[in-house]
């Protein structure tokens, strides 16, 4: 592989941060290029230094970084990479963030709260990004926070194909774990041709990450139930939803989510739950010690690589998704 790809007078160069090197390498492999070598390290006080070892003048730069823990360090590293590319005269800079950090803070629920998702977009704009690319944003409105093109990729086709290949959709019900995920669950139900159910639940306003499940709305008796969400963080919501479905007579409970954050007690909760399979993608790195028998990890790299190819060739990213307009 070469470090660059050319098309007419344009040159594609791929740059990867240190957060998820396995995904970076896989995307590069699908594109048929190598990652541009760089010198990156932390000073003793934690400040980050980045320098690219090749000229980037006039290139179409794609900077990939997964916002995993420690999330603030990796966001800062990607910002510094963008700044370095801008100052080195890269022609076009696309920030590829398979997982968009701070996406859950997309609006104010109470006074004196930040809208951190907007701040992230503003920082990348200030650093010099011309375009953003992300997978399964927590809410679609985040696309409007960046004053430029935003490519919102969907992992649903990858996840849905896996489910359809291994389970019978005729006896399946798609389940939204809360009211906020109903739209996503509805798209799943349309794709697989299944009925839809909803978990009605309420959060405890006095305790962070605490959820109380109330009831199942929809027919789940004797059926395989597929809980769908954009991410699994501490797994409190998803495991309590699974308990409610099993208590409601579900034969089997599966979970499909794009982003495996898996914070704190998540792995133990999922391992000890009645869930039969947890299907996620590798938008975030999952170390071996956080993997378990029920976990299936699907690669997002082919989708990200195809989207980068379409952007570089000035094609259509929307064409990658059936019904995604």
Could you give the residue numbers annotated as active site?
A: 201
Q: Which tokens in the block code for residue 12? A: 């594609």
The dihedral built from the CA positions of residue 284, 285, 290 and 295, taken in this order, carries a sign that is: positive
- The number of CA neighbours under 13 Å toward the Cβ of 208 is 2
Q: Which tokens in the block code for residue 211? A: 């959820």
User: Tokens 């019978």 belong to which residue?
Assistant: 168
Which residues partner with 255 through β-bridges? 227, 278
- The number of CA neighbours under 13 Å toward the Cβ of 179 is 6
Torsion of CA 46, 66, 120, 58, to 10 degrees: 90
According to DSSP, residue 4 is labeled E
Q: Which tokens in the block code for residue 191? A: 């794709």
Q: Are 251 and 267 in contact (CB under 8 A)?
A: no
Q: Which tokens in the block code for residue 149? A: 């093109």
According to DSSP, residue 112 is labeled T
Q: DSSP states of 207-259 as a string?
A: STT-EEEEEEES--TTSEEEEEEEEESSSHHHHHHHHHHHHTT-SEEEEEEEE
User: Tokens 């594609």 belong to which residue?
Assistant: 12
What is d(CA 242, CA 246) in angstroms, rounded to the nearest whole number? 6
Q: Are 162 and 279 in contact (CB under 8 A)?
A: yes
Q: Are 72 and 79 in contact (CB under 8 A)?
A: no
Q: Which tokens in the block code for residue 236? A: 């409190």
User: Tokens 């990156």 belong to which residue?
Assistant: 40
């Amino acid at each position: 592989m070469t470090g660059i790809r050319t098309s007419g007078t344009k040159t594609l160069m791929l740059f990867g941060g240190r957060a998820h090197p396995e995904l970076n390498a896989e995307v590069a492999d699908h594109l048929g290029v190598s990652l541009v070598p760089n010198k990156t390290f932390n000073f003793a006080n934690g400040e980050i230094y980045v320098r690219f070892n090749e000229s980037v003048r006039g290139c179409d730069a794609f900077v990939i970084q997964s916002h995993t823990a420690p999330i603030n360090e990796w966001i800062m590293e990607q910002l510094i990479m963008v700044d370095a590319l801008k100052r080195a005269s890269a022609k076009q800079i696309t920030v590829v963030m398979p997982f968009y950090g701070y996406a859950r803070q997309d609006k104010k629920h109470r006074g004196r709260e930040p809208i951190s998702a907007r701040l992230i977009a503003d920082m990348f704009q200030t650093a010099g990004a011309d375009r953003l690319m992300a997978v399964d944003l927590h809410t679609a409105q985040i696309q409007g926070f960046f004053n430029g093109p935003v490519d919102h990729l969907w992992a649903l086709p990858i996840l849905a194909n896996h489910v359809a290949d291994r389970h019978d959709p005729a006896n399946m019900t798609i389940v939204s774990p809360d009211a906020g995920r109903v739209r996503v669950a509805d798209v799943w139900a349309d794709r697989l041709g299944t009925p839809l159910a909803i978990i009605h639940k309420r959060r405890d306003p006095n305790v962070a990450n605490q959820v109380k499940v109330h009831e199942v709305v929809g027919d789940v008796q004797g059926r395989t139930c597929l809980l769908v969400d954009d991410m699994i963080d501490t797994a409190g919501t998803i495991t309590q939803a699974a308990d409610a479905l099993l208590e409601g007579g579900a034969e089997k409970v599966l979970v499909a989510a794009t982003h495996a954050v898996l914070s704190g007690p998540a792995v133990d909760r999922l391992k000890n739950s009645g869930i039969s399979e947890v299907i996620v993608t590798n938008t975030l790195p999952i170390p071996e010690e956080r993997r378990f028998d029920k976990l299936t990890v699907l690669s997002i790299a082919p989708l990200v690589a195809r989207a980068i190819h379409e952007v570089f060739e000035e094609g259509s990213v929307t064409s990658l998704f059936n019904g995604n307009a």
